[in-house]
Structure 1
Amino acid sequence: MEIYFLGTNAGVPTLQRNVTSVALRLLEERRSFWMFDCGEGTQHQVLRSPLRLGKLEKLFITHLHGDHLFGLPGLLSSRGYQGGTGPLTVYGPPGLKAYLDISLSVSQSRIPYPLEVVEHSGGLIFEDDGFKVEAGLLEHRIDSYGYRVTEKDSPGNLNKELLLSYGLKPGPLYGLLKKGQDVTTEEGVLIRAAEVVNAPKRGRIVTVLGDTRPCQGTLPLAWDADLIIHEATFGHDLEGMAHQYHHSTARQAAELARDAGGRELLLTHFSSRYTTHEELLPLLAEAREIFPQTLLAEEFCTFPVYRRTPGNVPGK
């Protein structure tokens, strides 16, 4: 599980950074990737990345402002020309379907794959055997949602040394034990799954927050998350402007990560007033004063989502 940024700017693109889009790579877990937001030019960013649109399985829109949305019709159209034949589901606030219906019909765009648009107003919006995705309303000029992606716990590994001491060699009974079923060997020895299966592996949690100023809705989404992606449109010297425009400062993002007990924080959605990486370093510094495990998002960079294990302290 990895995060890959395709756009980290707020409002408008610059020569250095594109507008918002982030990919959650699930190549080992699902052989696919998910995308959060799709600002103008995202498909061009994909062409410069290791991602392939044919592997895009789900796309989540946080809100219907153009810097998070204007790249969507073009990307959906191009997906079919880049090997995308499998189903694609797009999730977002009410109004998303009308936007896509008009854009694709007026442009006579042909979508040669199953496309489903799911409008939601928060809550549990997706769940299967491996993952669930929850959405929560934030505080912005229009309805804006954050997403909490939870990887479900996976069964622990078998204690193979102990099994061999029972005389049980690898085979079908191993599979039953891993599923939690007790088994009996040919010699009549009862082996209890609870005694030979290690503790389950904790699933990872990734929180992707859309545009928001500090509000109560962020905490449940970010609670105990392994990775929190939070907007940091301004430095804290512009806190008044951030509040006026319904955005957050880097320090406010760090306060949320600290209060939520998160493991790591990635700052993104930077104002175009910060034109260089060096100009973003003060935002990083102010965030790290409160939450040391903070990084700046960088386009075309991969950020692994580490699994928290016993003794694995956040930031270590």
Structure 2
Amino acid sequence: MQGVVHMQRVVSLLPSTTEIVHALDCGDRLVGRSHECDHPAGVTDLPVVTEPKVWLEGDSGAIDRQVKAILEQALSVYKVHGEVLRDLAPDVVLTQSQCEVCAVSADDVQRAVDDHLDGHAEVVALEPNGLADVLGDIRRVAAALDVADRGERLARSMEQRIEAIRDRTASLPRRRVVTLEWIDPLMAAGNWMPTLLEAAGGEELFGVAGAHSPWLDWEAVRAADPDAIVVLPCGFDLERTRSEAEQLRNLPGWSSLTAVTTGRVALVDGHRFFNRPGPRLVESTEILAEILHPDTFPPRYRDGAWEPMS
């Protein structure tokens, strides 16, 4: 009698890793998710393994103050439901070690695995600081799922598609860009974003590729007078971004910036695209190219993933 084949059981605690698992055609192995995993369709039916310790409310300034108050007490922003994790009995748990504000920490995940699964699960903690790291993390997830060849194909496909955009923008004017990953206080986008911008025909003025996103001084932004501004607050969809961006109008000198007077301020759905270091960074690059060079790139994503600030 043939033995029963064990189907690998995977818990993904990041929206990006959930999307990576599906892009590797391994979605049927997922048995649990984070409270933020919402794509692709059907993922929200999975049991939820994490939640914020405090449900953050208010505008971006209020959320920033709440998060900082939690971190100042040396507390974690999120918690793991250990009993749910135990009942799901995963073989692999996907998490991150890059940002304690973005998702549950790798230390908390490892502690939950040790306490509730006797350490009998592989914890794969990703740290995607730049685009090359994102591609490497795709390969790491694929290796953990024993589909390394699929991971290689996916990573190479992403590289080729981004390179194709870079080729199309090579002869176009380079737009000087300020990206706003948070509004109050102001923060530029670092990590993989400067690389995507470069491929899309832009130059990030403050964020540095491979480095954490830096806080911004508004007077420095005024002095830089960017050609374009892309507003993509972390975790905010387009509707929420539209609402939050209104406070930018109150900044001194906002109305006289070149990006404002020429109509090159774009509001973006960062939650679905730019903030998730996974397969949709290709679409994110296409969106940037569309924003910066509308005469060359048709408006495929406008009014769904981004819109001009009116």
- Superposition TM-score tier, normalisation by shorter sequence: 0.3 to 0.5
From the two aligned structures, give the one with the greater strand fraction.
1
User: How high is the TM-score relative to the length of structure 1?
Assistant: 0.34
User: How high is the TM-score relative to the length of structure 2?
Assistant: 0.34
Structure having greater relative contact order (Cα 8 Å, sep ≥ 6) = 1
From the two aligned structures, give the one with the greater helix fraction.
2
Flag the structure with larger Rg: 1
